[in-house]
Structure 1
Amino acid sequence: MVGGGQLARMTHEAGIPLGIRFKLLSDTPQDSAAQAVQNVVVGDYRDLDTLLAFAEGCDVITFDHEHVPTEHLHALRAEGHAIRPGPEALVYAQDKGLMRARLTELGVACPRHRLVTGPADVSRFAAEGGAASGSGYPVVLKTVRGGYDGKGVWVVRSEAEAAGPFRAGVPVLAEEMVPFTRELAANVVRSPHGQAVAYPVVESVQVDGVCDTVIAPAPGLPEERATQAQELALTVAAELGVVGHLAVELFETPDGRVLVNELAMRPHNSGHWTQDGAVTSQFANHLRAVLDLPLGDPRPRAPWTVMANVLGGDYPDMYQGYLHCMARDPQLKIHMYGKDVKPGRKVGHVNVYGDDLAEVRARARHAADYLRGTITE
């Protein structure tokens, strides 16, 4: 697996019961997965020679992020290495411009969008929208490549504000500011021979551009709309040739429409609830898919599961935090990543499941806040 973050750490964990020998390409020995995996190569995923050397002896290469240069993936493929998902699919998670163009070609509903060349072009795009403000602002600007967790994304309200994203000299995509009621995510997994499974559609609550809470299944979502979202994700996976896990992030609008926001071709934060709340986790099914094994049952174990991220805060004594949270809620599941604590950084998550949504959500929120240090009792 290329990438040493928490997604690789949890994917490795899912492979242990199957006896899968895991090899990791990590930026540093201190990365989350590098702390847990025995066979670690420290190197730069942007260097082709490093990637080629790393791939020797591997049956299949997969990823915990989408940042490996597309041309390097093709080079690996040309040398006979199995890449899953392949570069032909992964490019649509790497390049937002290509992703929007391909989804539009497939007839998938997306926010209005266009590649823009500068602040004046952003104003022209805004005016084309005919928003009630008259100017068409605000507009969402995104770097075409490299953004995640709110990084590389700006909400601009004027041509002057639009200047900032262009200073880096990278391509920029403009999108309309969608007046959505909430964010959803449809997670599916597809194998090389076309078997696919779909997890329940979830609600994803974002705070400052970072996933804070995930509720599975999305409360109040009509069954027909949930089925449509699952079918959409399965169609996208098949049409793009995805192998492994695909997360389709969605906007639900006041008029009942569902628009595709982003794609991620790897295990995803919106699927962390599956570790404890589903028969087969996203991590286990991602491994099964890339190894072309039969996929596992994606159904939930309980009526409700809530995942709450633990973000960096004040940790005076993590052991005391465990004592309090575990004693208070013996069914609580805590997953920490071994990361240094930084404000706002994802350092772990908790999963809680049960029959009553309000109770489950309160339990998850309490544990995440206590571990962060924002509450003390």
Structure 2
Amino acid sequence: MTSPRRAPGGFPVVGIIGGGQLARMCQPPAVNLSLTLSILSESADAAAALVVPSAPVGSHLDVDDVLAFAKECDVVTFDHEHVPPEVLQALVDTGVPVHPKPEALVFAQDKLAMRERLTELGVPCPAWAAVRGEAELTAFGDVHGWPVVLKTPRGGYDGKGVRLVGSGPDAADWFAHGEVLLAEERVPFTRELAVLTARSPSGQAAVWPIVQTVQTDGICTEVLAPAPGLDPALAAQASQAALTLAGELDITGVFAVEIFEIAGAPGTAPSYVVNELAMRPHNSGHWTMDGSVTSQFEQHLRAVLDLPLGAVSPRATWTVMGNVLGGDYDELYPTYKHLLARDPGLKVHLYGKGVRPGRKIGHVNVYGEDLDDLRARARHAADYLEGTVTA
């Protein structure tokens, strides 16, 4: 592999395993901090490889590829959570600092391990159980109610690896593979929230304002920062829980806790349960690129290098992020003239990914003082880029 070209002045090389959009969005703050990024990319035309000069092609599943890549890096982090445990261990054995550590990352890789550890720590979770067949699933559903949320412990994202089942036989095809599955009660939540934190190896931590995420067919399509009307006590509890998890699990880098808000009885405060964990820059934090003093991507680089963390205060009262999904067309650039002329305050972030219907290909941010107006502007821009509106 070709060695990355280091910036003059003794600045380090940050290696990122995975060439997706999260690695791509680390490049602008890396340039500003005079850091060198090197990306282990799955292909020469992956999203990050298009903008990062040092982007050797290799597989995160191949120990030799990963070790050869890490030799040229001062610290290694991740674009995704799918690096196998044996590859992670070989990486740690080289002595190159790895953030987050495999001992922490497992709780984002394995939902059963996550549920076990969160329960041990007293963090609110849905009722859950590991189920090995139809009989165990039926027993769980009969106690906690049907339908049941059934998940594969590893590999699911954006609604994949999750299904709602009304009986034990409904999951017969999944049990046919012999895998232990995670069964959870269906939570009657009022909305979905996300707590985004960052923590450095020396233990410094920061928490952005809690946001509301809006899901469409299992994909996050909108983020409202901060979450409108959030009970201050609930915000404090959830933020403290995220900080506790970061410390107890020894997480380093940016870390997202996805939670369900549950309405309280009349006259009582709402509560919450944790749904998922993610140990990397996260879709719920894309608003920070324009709406926060320090973006999640700059903060992640600071954290994995154990640099002092940046301020996480918002730039305006509200920021709205709208995810851009691909439509049935190939050319995106011609849409810019309309969008940028119509809304000079709009910030467009596209990922350099091939366009196909339903695929996340970018996002837009707008910030200001009128939440309804911001939501309408972000929705129009995302819809126009997708091709569902033409004016």
Class of the TM-score when normalised by the shorter of the 2 chains: over 0.9
Which residue does 1:132 correspond to in 2? none
What is the match of residue 287 of structure 2?
Answer: 273
CA displacement at 1:119 relative to structure 2: 1.9
Q: Of 16, 19, 33, which residue of structure 2 is paired with 1:4?
A: 19
- In structure 2, the partner of 1:100 is 115
Partner of 1:133: none
Correspondence for 1:109 = 124
The residue that corresponds to 2:300 in the other structure is 286
Asked if 1:72 is matched to 2:71, the reply is no
Summarize deviations over 1:71-129 as a string: whole Å, max 9, x none: 22122112211100001110110111110000000000000111110122211111121
Question: Post-superposition shift, 1:316?
Answer: 6.3
Paired position in structure 2 for 1:231: 240
Displacement of 1:354: 0.6
Matched-pair contact (CA < 8 Å) for 1:313–1:372 = yes
Alignment of 1:343 onto 2:354: no
Residue correspondence of structure 1 range 328-367 to structure 2 within 5 A: 328-367=342-381
TM-aligned CA deviation for residue 57 of structure 1: 2.0
Cα separation, 2, equivalents of 1:99 and 1:54: 29
**Structure 1 Cα separation of the partners of residues 212 and 193 of structure 2:** 4
The equivalences for 1:1-377 within 5 A come to 1-129=16-144, 136-255=145-264, 256-315=270-329, 317-377=331-391
Question: Counterparts of 2:290 and 2:173 in 1: how far apart (Å)?
Answer: 42
Aligned residues of 2:150 and 2:184 also touching (Cα < 8 A): yes
Please state whether the residue corresponding to 1:286 is helix, strand or coil: helix
Q: Is the 8 A contact 1:304 1:353 kept in 2?
A: yes
Q: Retained in 1: the 8 A contact 2:328–2:356?
A: no
Structure 2 residue identity aligned to 1:73:
L
d(CA) in 1 for partners of 2:121 and 2:221? 31
1:196–1:76 Cα change, 3 Å: same
Ranges in structure 1 where 5+ consecutive residues have no aligned partner: 130-135
Matches of 2:358 and 2:69, distance apart in 1: 32
Q: Which amino acid aligns with 2:315?
A: R
1:166/1:39 Cα in 2 relative to 1: closer, same or farther (>3 Å)?
Answer: same
Question: RMSD over aligned Cα, in angstroms?
Answer: 1.1
Instruction: For 1:189 and 1:295, locate their aligned partners in 2 and report how far apart those are by CA, in whole Å.
Output: 8
Q: Which amino acid aligns with 2:287?
A: W
Q: Residue type of the partner of 2:332?
A: M
The Cα offsets for residues 111-161 of structure 1, whole Å up to 9 and x where unpaired, read as: 0111110122211111121xxxxxx21111111111111111111112221
Q: Secondary structure at the match of 1:147?
A: coil
- What SS does structure 1 have at the residue aligned with 2:367? strand
> How far apart, CA to CA, are the structure 2 residues paired with 1:181 and 1:168?
34
CA offsets 1:309-330 (integer angstroms, 9 cap, x no match): 0011134642331111111100
1:166 Cα deviation from its structure 2 partner: 2.4
Q: Which amino acid aligns with 2:242?
A: A
SS in 2 for 1:62: strand
How far apart are the structure 1 equivalents of 2:380 and 2:158?
A: 23
State how far apart, in whole Å, the 2-side matches of 1:2 and 1:88 are.
17
Counterpart of 1:359, as a letter, is: D
Note the C-alpha offset of 1:331.
0.4
- Once residues 224 and 109 of structure 1 are traced to their aligned partners in structure 2, the CA distance between those partners, rounded to angstroms, is 15
Q: Is the 8 A contact 1:144 1:172 kept in 2?
A: yes
Moved more, 143-152 or 260-269: 143-152
Work out the CA distance in 2 between the residues paired with 1:92 and 1:137: 27
Q: Normalization by structure 1: what TM-score?
A: 0.96
Number of residue pairs aligned between Structure 1 and Structure 2: 371
2-side partners of 1:208 and 1:299: how far apart?
31
Question: Counterpart of 1:238 in structure 2: which amino acid?
Answer: G
Contact 1:314 1:374 in 2 (8 A): no
Alignment-mate amino acid for residue 150 of structure 2: L
Contact persistence 1:141–1:165 (CA under 8 A):
no
Structure 1 Cα separation of the partners of residues 181 and 357 of structure 2? 28
Q: Unpaired segments of 5 or more residues in structure 2?
A: 1-15, 265-269
User: 1:291-344: CA deviations, max 9, x gaps?
Assistant: 110000001000000000001113464233111111110000000001111111
Do 1:315 and 1:371's aligned partners in 2 also have CA atoms closer than 8 Å? no
Distance in 2 of aligned mates of 1:163 and 1:342: 32
Partner secondary structure for residue 49 of structure 2: helix
C-alpha distance in 2 between matches for 1:210 and 1:304: 22
